[in-house]
Structure formats: structure tokens, C-alpha cells
């Protein structure tokens, strides 16, 4: 999970909500996470498969403390950007995907992570979240985005490659791959569609 670092930039205003209609006619909204999302975030984490939780949080167990969930829902916005995709159906809202980045000590790079509910993998939510992270990071003056991914998370590694990330091995830890992408390049802001797997 990305860790927070000292602030070295001034974050932009809170991003607006983006809404669209899913294939099943439910309403999907991509927006910043909110303190009132605690119950939805807890349900999202608990409903992920063991492997999806492990790839995202480094722990497959579903039990997160109240304090941990509150921190996920009320991040320090001067350092981290957190987004969720919320599905509305039958008057009920559920979180079906989430993403965040946290600025690192150099003040120019950020570490990201993405998770998508198992039933919603392969529907482009990872792509939408990655685009939101790119836009927010660029507007914050950041120049590099990267992630640390387990070598066994092959679908996330392929997702990263398709979206312009360089993938390299970690000599000191063969179990980890680092993916990185410059935010200053002229590559399109809209990433390519996600593979049917949970992006880390």
C-alpha cells in the first residue's frame, strides 16, 4: 500500500464526480473517497477475493480495524489522492473499485495502487481510475507515477504494460516488480482497457 510522505506541493481542488451507465444499467460514479464511505469501503474490502485483497493490501484476511478503514476514507489530501467507483442500483450504493496514490519524499513522484471488485473486473474500471490518478498527479505537478507489484500478479503487470508503464525486476527482491511511467510524456491521458483481473 502506498505510504504518505512530507508535502512538497500544493494539491489542486477536489476532482469532480464522473458518472456513466454500466452495461447492467446501474449508475457508476467515479469520485474522491469521503469520510462517510466507511461502511461501503469495509464491505468492498470484505467482499474482495483473498487474492485480490492480498495483491492490493499485502494481506488476504478481510478484517480491517475501524481505524484502518477510517484512514482509507479520510486520507491526508495534501499528500494522497484517493478515488472510488460507486455503483448505484435500487437506491443502494456500493463501492466496486478504488485507487490511490501518495506523494513520495522527493515531492515529484507518487506510488499508486488500484483494486477492483472481482465481479467488476474487465469492465474498464481500472482504466477509468488510472486516468483519474494521471490527471490529478499531473495537475499537482508530479512527474512520475510508480507501483510495486508482486511478480505473481501477472494480469496487473500486463495491465501496467498496456498503459505505458515500464516494468523492471527488483534485484534485492525477486518477488517484486516495479512499474513506472513518466507523467510528462505525450501518451494519451485515457489508458487502455483493463484485463479481467484486479489491478493492484
Q: 10-63: per-residue pLDDT in tens?
A: 444 555 689 999 999 999 999 999 999 999 999 999 999 999 999 998 877 777
User: In the prediction, which pLDDT does 197 show?
Assistant: 35
CATH superfamily of 18-142: Gcn5-related N-acetyltransferase (GNAT) (3.40.630.30)
Nearest one of 109, 111, 82, 108 to 97, comparing CA atoms? 82
Q: CA-to-CA distance for 7 and 119, rounded, in angstroms?
A: 36
Q: Which residue has the cell 489530501?
A: 77
Q: CA-to-CA distance for 85 and 34, rounded, in angstroms?
A: 12
Nearest one of 93, 165, 163 to 129, comparing CA atoms? 163
Helices and strands in the chain, H and E counts: 5, 8
* CB-side neighbour CA atoms (13 Å) of 77: 13
Cell of 2: 502506498
Please state, rounded to an integer, the average pLDDT across all residues of the chain.
Answer: 87
User: In the prediction, which pLDDT does 167 show?
Assistant: 98
| pLDDT(188) > 50 | no
Q: Where are the beta strands (DSSP E) in 23-108?
A: 27-32, 80-89, 92-103
* CB-side neighbour CA atoms (13 Å) of 165: 26
Please write the tens of the pLDDT for every residue from 103-128: 999 999 999 999 999 999 999 999 99
Amino acid at each position: 500500500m502506498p505510504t504518505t510522505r512530507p508535502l512538497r506541493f500544493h494539491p489542486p481542488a477536489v476532482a469532480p464526480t464522473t458518472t456513466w451507465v454500466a452495461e447492467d444499467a446501474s449508475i457508476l460514479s467515479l469520485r474522491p473517497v469521503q469520510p462517510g464511505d466507511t461502511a461501503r469501503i469495509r464491505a468492498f474490502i470484505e467482499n474482495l477475493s483473498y487474492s485480490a485483497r492480498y495483491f492490493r493490501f499485502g494481506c488476504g484476511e478481510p478484517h480491517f480495524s475501524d481505524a484502518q478503514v477510517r484512514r482509507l476514507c479520510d486520507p491526508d489530501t495534501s499528500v494522497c489522492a484517493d478515488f472510488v467507483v460507486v455503483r448505484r442500483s435500487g437506491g443502494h450504493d456500493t463501492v466496486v473499485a478504488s485507487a490511490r496514490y501518495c506523494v513520495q519524499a522527493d515531492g515529484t513522484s507518487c506510488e499508486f495502487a488500484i483494486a477492483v471488485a472481482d465481479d467488476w473486473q474487465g469492465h474498464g474500471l481500472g482504466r477509468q481510475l488510472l486516468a483519474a490518478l494521471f490527471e490529478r498527479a499531473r495537475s499537482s505537478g508530479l512527474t512520475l507515477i510508480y507501483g510495486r507489484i508482486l511478480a505473481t500478479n501477472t494480469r496487473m503487470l500486463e495491465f501496467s504494460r498496456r498503459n505505458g508503464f515500464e516494468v523492471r525486476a527488483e534485484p534485492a527482491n525477486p518477488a517484486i516488480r516495479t512499474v513506472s511511467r513518466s507523467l510528462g510524456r505525450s501518451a494519451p491521458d485515457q489508458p487502455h482497457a483493463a484485463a479481467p483481473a484486479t489491478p493492484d
